[in-house]
Amino acid sequence: MKTYRKDDVVRIELVLNGQQRSGTCEPRTLLSDFLRHELGATGTHVGCEHGVCGACTVNIGGVAGRSCMTLAVQAEGCSVETVEGLNRGQQDLSDLQQAFRRNHALQCGFCTAGILMSCTDYLRRNPDPSEDEVREMLSGHLCRCTGYTNIVRAVLETAAERLGRPHAGWAHPDAPGHAGTGPDEQGRLVNA
């Protein structure tokens, strides 16, 4: 059993985007504040701090959740993924991030980090979602710039791309497979 007194300074270790990290906090410190203030991972944004806006969504133990509704001490020893880790081990943005850029799925970008983390978890579990399912998943996020249409398009395009299915984004100069390679005879993207 772990117990901490309210005025203890607690040292928390966790795995952030594949790296072992540690920092200190109080038992009442929110995971969102611990990530930003203690570990300097400011990619995660904080909006409403009561679970409504979705900006602070990160992946905790593999599933998307609100970091403002999780205590840092609850994440002790867990694996936490944030937007900083999305394109880990690659030079370019991840396929999901590229689809967001292609489709103009963000404007000010405040909500984007949380949305990307939700979509990452969701597409892993439901690789071929319908538009309705994507909209249901996105209902947990507030975006005041885009009107969501372009976000939905980017998510559906990412799913199609991963399944090797044709989609409108292929015509875009930024699309993977665009630069002369295109789909092979089975309709799959050569370098996707």
Question: Using CB under 8 A as the criterion, which residues of the chain lie in contact with other proteins when the complex forms?
Answer: 1-7, 26-28, 30, 33, 49-51, 54, 57, 60, 63-66, 68-71, 73-74, 118, 121-122, 125, 135-137, 139-141
Q: Between residues 28 and 144, which has the closer beta carbon with respect to other proteins?
A: 28
Are 178 and 105 spatial neighbours (Cβ–Cβ below 8 Å)? no
Please state the closest distance from residue 65 (CB atom) to other proteins, in A: 4
Q: Between residues 83 and 137, which has the closer beta carbon with respect to other proteins?
A: 137
Please state the closest distance from residue 72 (CB atom) to other proteins, in A: 10
CA proximity to 33, closest of 96, 75, 78: 75
Q: Between residues 49 and 84, which has the closer beta carbon with respect to other proteins?
A: 49
Q: Would you put residue 166 in left (φ > 0), alpha (ψ -120 to 50) or beta? A: beta
Q: Which residue has the tokens 């690789």?
A: 127
Tokens standing for residue 179: 């630069």
Q: Which residue has the tokens 């939905």?
A: 152
- Grouping H, G, I as helix, E, B as strand and the rest as coil, residue 118 is helix
**Cα distance from N-terminal residue to C-terminal residue, the chain:** 47
Please state the closest distance from residue 125 (CB atom) to other proteins, in A: 7
Q: Between residues 39 and 64, which has the closer beta carbon with respect to other proteins?
A: 64
Q: Between residues 22 and 181, which has the closer beta carbon with respect to other proteins?
A: 22
Q: How would you list the strands of the sheet with 57-60, edge to edge?
A: 19-25, 10-16, 79-81, 57-60, 63-66
Please state the closest distance from residue 89 (CB atom) to other proteins, in A: 25
Tokens standing for residue 136: 């249901």
Please state the closest distance from residue 66 (CB atom) to other proteins, in A: 6
